[in-house]
Amino acid sequence: MSHQHGHTHPSEPHRHGGRGRLRHRVAHLVKPHSHDSADRTDHALESSARGMRVLWISLGVLGATAVAQLVIVVLSGSVALLGDTVHNAADALTALPLGVAFVLGRRAATRRFTYGYGRAEDIAGLLIVLTIAASAAFAAWTAIDRLIDPRDISHLPAVAAAAVIGFIGNEWVARYRIRVGREIGSAALVADGLHARTDGFTSLAVLLGAGGAAIGWQLADPIVGLAITAAILLVLRDACREVFRRIMDAVDPAVVDTAQHALEHVPGVRAVGELRMRWIGHRLRAEVAIVVDGDLSVRDAHEVAVAAEHALLHAVPKLTAALVHADPAPVPGAPDPHATLAHHIV
């Protein structure tokens, strides 16, 4: 039998039996909670709302930064600062596909998309990775072009000030996006934060290039630009790893260990079989097979599955759904039904 988080039992209360029932009631008194679909939806909407808030705030910060830099570009004619301004504008615009992904993720599951639309975040993550790669290519091309054709920069103090503004704005946005992205479990938002950090590096390149130009070394700007390109490639590697793992349904092994430990301490669970977990957007789902006493009735086995589900939801942060399948413990000397089924299939 299976028990999936998301349905209610209006005609019968959950029975946990003996000390298990007392422990369950005490836990609810200390930390009240509900496990209905509305509660999970509210939590998911809250996470999406936080993500949208981050996107709007970062869009405003980076937009203001780009406008301030653009004014100085017009005054100084700095091509390096122009490139940095383009990077900041592109970084601000990456909030758009991620915002669309958060909006789609709020839509309810359908008969066609039975898991909902959370995967839209992973698609947005791919677009962000491509944007970081394009930024690295643009930075490399600009640096090589300046090595071949060095150019003078005017209004150096203003250019340096704009570079500092760009670095501070991008680094603040990067920290904000990465922190909230990890809190709500959004790999795409983390990747977008890493993208902002690459633009901060580009701003530092402009600052160092302006410093080199101030002492008469024209090649300082392109050389530093190549170094920053290498730094962007390192950030690209981290972003690719983050998004690739999410697309491949990778989960932190520590989270799986936490889930296993919680299940092993549920009264009535004799063993934990196959345990699978996956991210769908910034929502975590679990599927597990537990072994219960073969003499239990269907109703009692169901109660053990309910207790296992509750234990998972308490122990694993960001877990919004769990499917628990209860298997009876094999009778000594009796054939394993799963092995028999596999034999017939072969």
DSSP per position, 94-156: THHHHHHHHHHHTSPP-SSSTT-STTHHHHHHHHHHHHHHHHHHHHHHHHHHHHHS----S-H
For residue 345, name the pLDDT band (cuts at 50, 70, 90): very low
Query: 13-56: per-residue pLDDT in tens?
Result: 344 444 444 444 444 333 444 444 344 444 445 666 777 888 88
CA atoms within 13 A on the CB side of 231: 19
| Full strand arrangement of the beta sheet holding 2-4 | 2-4, 319-328, 283-292, 271-280
Give 236's contacts (C-beta < 8 A, 6+ positions apart): 129, 132, 133, 136, 198
Query: 48-91: per-residue pLDDT in tens?
Result: 677 788 888 888 888 888 888 888 878 776 766 776 777 677 77
Q: Give the model's pLDDT for residue 217.
A: 74
Do the beta carbons of residue 281 and residue 101 sit within 8 Å? yes
Query: 229-252: per-residue pLDDT in tens?
Result: 787 788 788 888 888 888 888 898
Q: Give the model's pLDDT for residue 336.
A: 57
Q: Give the model's pLDDT for residue 258.
A: 94
Do the beta carbons of residue 329 and residue 291 sit within 8 Å? yes
For residue 302, name the pLDDT band (cuts at 50, 70, 90): very high
Average the pLDDT over 255-261 and give the result: 94
DSSP 331: P
Q: Which residues pair with 23 in a beta bridge?
A: none
Query: 128-179: per-residue pLDDT in tens?
Result: 888 878 877 877 887 787 778 776 666 778 888 888 888 888 889 889 989 8
Q: Give the model's pLDDT for residue 321.
A: 87
Question: Mean of the per-residue pLDDT values for the chain?
Answer: 76
AA identity, residue 23: R
Q: Give the model's pLDDT for residue 5.
A: 46
* Domains of the chain: residue spans and CATH: 2-13+251-345 (3.30.70.1350), 38-247 (1.20.1510.10)
For residue 298, name the pLDDT band (cuts at 50, 70, 90): very high
Residue 293 has pLDDT above 50, yes or no: yes
Residue 335 has pLDDT above 90, yes or no: no
Average the pLDDT over 107-123 and give the result: 86
Could you tell me how far CA 269 lies from the centroid of its own chain? 32
d(CA 280, CA 258): 19
d(CA 18, CA 22): 7
For residue 98, name the pLDDT band (cuts at 50, 70, 90): confident
For residue 334, name the pLDDT band (cuts at 50, 70, 90): low
d(CA 263, CA 305): 10
Do the beta carbons of residue 242 and residue 191 sit within 8 Å? yes
AA identity, residue 229: T
Q: Give the model's pLDDT for residue 287.
A: 94
Query: 260-289: per-residue pLDDT in tens?
Result: 999 999 999 999 999 999 988 778 899 999
Which pairing describes strands 271-280 and 283-292: parallel, antiparallel, or unpaired? antiparallel
Give 8's contacts (C-beta < 8 A, 6+ positions apart): 36
E strands within the chain?
2-4, 271-280, 283-292, 319-328
Q: Give the model's pLDDT for residue 312.
A: 94
Give 289's contacts (C-beta < 8 A, 6+ positions apart): 272, 273, 274, 275, 324, 325, 326, 327
d(CA 272, CA 279): 21
d(CA 246, CA 191): 11
AA identity, residue 152: D
d(CA 93, CA 166): 16
Average the pLDDT over 208-218 and give the result: 73
For residue 9, name the pLDDT band (cuts at 50, 70, 90): very low
Query: 186-212: per-residue pLDDT in tens?
Result: 777 888 888 788 778 777 777 777 777
Q: Which two tokens stand for residue 274?
A: 């196959």
